[in-house]
Amino acid sequence: MDVDLRQLRCLVAIVDEGTFTDAALALGVSQAAVSRTLASLERALGVRLLRRTSRSVTPTAAGVRVVTHARRVLAEADELVREATAGQHVLRIGYAWSALGRHTPAFQRRWAAAHPGTELHLVRVNSATAGLAEGSCDLAVLRRPLEDRRFDSAIVGLERRLCAMAADDPLARRRSLRLADLSGHTLLIDRRTGTTTPELWPPDSRPATEETYDVDDWLTAISTGRRMGMSAEATASQYRRPGVVYRPVRDAEPVAVRLAWWRDDPHPAAQHVIELLTALYREA
Amino acid sequence: MDVDLRQLRCLVAIVDEGTFTDAALALGVSQAAVSRTLASLERALGVRLLRRTSRSVTPTAAGVRVVTHARRVLAEADELVREATAGQHVLRIGYAWSALGRHTPAFQRRWAAAHPGTELHLVRVNSATAGLAEGSCDLAVLRRPLEDRRFDSAIVGLERRLCAMAADDPLARRRSLRLADLSGHTLLIDRRTGTTTPELWPPDSRPATEETYDVDDWLTAISTGRRMGMSAEATASQYRRPGVVYRPVRDAEPVAVRLAWWRDDPHPAAQHVIELLTALYREA
DNA sequence: TCGGATCTATACGCTGAAGTCATGGATGTG
DNA sequence: CACATCCATGACTTCAGCGTATAGATCCGA
């Protein structure tokens, strides 16, 4: 004997309409059905909810409380339905550290022009799949290959690697650096989501590394001059901060920017996004 | 094709258990039933919620949102049931201006001793029936007869009428007053819930009256000396305020304190409350 | 005061939703 | 490659829930 939304809808309709008969009309069922449904709700709860006279119906004290609560439950349920069906027209693209860098505004503009019916959400999720595995996005922008066979990905562009350092660091005076320039320093990296690993350096000249899990941490440590950072171009344009400068590392291989999706059921818009992004990265 | 709690419970169970089979076990139904129920939910919402492989089940982006929301709906529904069944053990007694005055503590003490399983709530509701008609209480303490035939009431005690005035009013120096002493003043009264009406005075010596709807208003106007008030004893003990003094009015007929309830379905505890209150009022 | 109007509760028969059982297809695994 | 595991589906069954009809209660106006 379990409570059910049908019963709650019935109760609310009776209280709103004032009589079982009118509630039946509003619900599009017979008066007998309303009577039975409410009786079953009262039986399930073990409480009399309505005081019936042949003239009108008024809720008991318990009824008032239940009706109030029932309205909340029904509103929540309706919103669930609305959200689920409306969510059809939202495309969520996840990213871990940085999204599309300087291409972000152009991408959003072009998407809106091409798909006026589908809202675009860029969501930041700090996980290896940028929320793809967690279900918080439909597509993900990643900057390293995905070994997980459940996902597939396509390279949409290449980005230079930049070194992030304090503005008053001696290296900041140079226009660009080489990998070797960082050998003696300590690099702050994010193993889960980041693009930088010690393997970029030849085995004998690897810089020391330290682990971080958060962009803000990373920036703070760099701006105080305690640590160096290395990242893709997009990070530089998305996380500008006073006291932190970015310099290209000439001899570091570029970062491949990937769009990823679930191998089975790829999002219908995936192909469009790939094309759009590839075009953008090719342009500039 | 409407969403219903059964479907939501099914969805949540699948996500929690990880497979349809385990969810079926947890729900106590067959695996086939789970499969069908979830299919019907997906059909109702028009969205694929779960990604099925032969190994495991993971929610889609839409699925994650719906599951999150579904948990909220289910929690609300569970609380509704809990609240409705637990509410059995609460007795709500409403009052408009003042409850039981100096008898309140003794009443609560004795009630708790006699009915340890039933909590007693005294709730203030500013309406003619002190919340009885609105369903916010099971019983009501009233201080005037109820003409509404839907309710019944019993007199549980009598209280003196007191006049409320500013502490520095000349009348405050007297131990007690007479009705005639108020003739020249303006009385602040609450027609909806109050006990005082001009009819207490002979037609030729009625004081001027002015309407109020709130005890705080009333007290403030009185404490500044702008108005006089008249009320039952309980008000004096419940609303003491610096600058306001209460003096008995010797020749005013006492106020009957009533306990009221719905004529049909009187609260099971009504008789006990009447007896308890009658005893208390007789004692002192 | 009595008949009609109005409202809720209940009996009865029927339909379809939801469950079980059995089985097929897909997919990893030893 | 046989096997284990998991989801989907067809066939069948059951009972919850609906509509119709009607009884019972109460109010209202003549």
Q: Is A47's CB less than 7 Å from nucleic acid strand D?
A: no
Confidence of residue B3 (pLDDT cuts 50, 70, 90): very high
- Whether B179 shows a pLDDT value over 80: the answer reads no
Average pLDDT over chain B reads 86
Closest CB to A73 among B44, B77, B137? B77
Confidence of residue B20 (pLDDT cuts 50, 70, 90): very high
B126–chain A nearest CA distance, Å: 16
Closest CB to B80 among A6, A66, A77? A66
Confidence of residue B206 (pLDDT cuts 50, 70, 90): confident
Alpha carbon distance A96, A175 (integer Å): 28
Q: Is B6's CB less than 7 Å from nucleic acid strand C?
A: yes
- Gap from A29 CA to C20 C1', Å: 31
| Residues in CB range of B47: below 8 A, 6 or more apart | A84, A85, A87, A88, B60, B62, B63, B66
| Residues in CB range of A271: below 8 A, 6 or more apart | none
Q: Do the first three CATH levels of A96-158+256-283 and A161-253 match, i.e. the same topology?
A: yes
Over chain A (284 residues), the average pLDDT of each successive run of 10 is 91 91 91 93 90 81 89 93 82 87 89 89 86 84 83 89 86 83 82 79 80 84 84 86 87 88 80 90 80
Q: For residue B22, which nucleotide's C1' is closest to its Cα? A: D6
Highest CATH level, class, for B96-158+256-283 = alpha beta
Confidence of residue B11 (pLDDT cuts 50, 70, 90): very high
Domain boundaries along the sequence of chain A: 5-87, 96-158+256-283, 161-253
Strands (DSSP E) contained in chain A are: 50-52, 57-59, 90-95, 119-124, 139-142, 151-159, 161-166, 186-189, 208-211, 229-232, 244-248, 255-262
Alpha carbon distance B49, B60 (integer Å): 5
Query: Which residues are bridge partners to B211 per DSSP?
Result: B189
Question: Helix crossing, B61-86 with A31-45: angle to 10°?
Answer: 70
Q: Nearest residue on chain A to B82, judged by CA atoms?
A: A45
Judging contacts by C-beta atoms under 8 Å, the chain A residues touching residue B133 are 58
Residue B189 CA to chain centroid, in angstroms?
23
Confidence of residue B227 (pLDDT cuts 50, 70, 90): confident
Q: Which two tokens stand for residue B105?
A: 């503590």
Q: Is B88's CB less than 7 Å from nucleic acid strand D?
A: no
Alpha carbon distance A14, A8 (integer Å): 10
Place of tokens 């449904």: A37
Q: What is the pLDDT of residues B122-155, one digit of tens each?
A: 988 888 888 888 778 889 999 888 877 778 888 9
- Gap from B86 CA to D12 C1', Å: 42
Judging contacts by C-beta atoms under 8 Å, the chain B residues touching residue A48 are 265
Which range among A34-38, A231-235, B27-31, B85-89 shows the weakest confidence by mean pLDDT?
B85-89
Q: What is the dihedral of CA A186, A188, A192, A195, to 10 degrees?
A: -90
Q: What pLDDT sits at residue B215?
A: 82
Closest by CA position to A183, among listed A159, A164, A200, A166:
A200
A72–chain B nearest CA distance, Å: 8
Q: For residue A7, which nucleotide's C1' is closest to its Cα? A: D17
* Cβ atoms of A52 and B264 closer than 8 Å: no
Is pTM beyond 0.75 here? no
Alpha carbon distance A56, A183 (integer Å): 85
Confidence of residue B218 (pLDDT cuts 50, 70, 90): confident
Q: What pLDDT sits at residue B282?
A: 87
Q: What is the dihedral of CA B41, B45, B51, B53, to 10 degrees?
A: 40
Alpha carbon distance B222, B169 (integer Å): 10
Average pLDDT value for residue range B57-62 = 87
Closest CB to B46 among A47, A85, A264? A85
- Gap from B13 CA to D19 C1', Å: 35
Type of residue numbered A184 = G
Other Cβ atoms less than 10 A from the Cβ of B4: the count is 16
Q: For residue B31, which nucleotide's C1' is closest to its Cα? A: D7
Q: Nearest residue on chain A to B46, judged by CA atoms?
A: A85
Nucleotides of D under 7 A from a protein CB: 5-11, 17-22, 24-28
- Gap from B36 CA to D9 C1', Å: 9
Percent pLDDT > 90 in chain B is: 27
3-state helix, strand, coil in chain A (%, to 5): 45, 25, 35
Tell me: domain B5-87, CATH 1.10.10.10, correct?
A: yes
For chain B residues 147-206, those near strand D by a CB cutoff of 7 A are none
Judging contacts by C-beta atoms under 8 Å, the chain A residues touching residue B15 are none
- Whether B88 shows a pLDDT value over 80: the answer reads no
Q: What pLDDT sits at residue B24?
A: 94
Judging contacts by C-beta atoms under 8 Å, the chain B residues touching residue A270 are none
Closest by CA position to A145, among listed A224, A256, A270, A1:
A256
Confidence of residue B40 (pLDDT cuts 50, 70, 90): very high
CATH number of B161-253: 3.40.190.10
- Whether B194 shows a pLDDT value over 90: the answer reads no
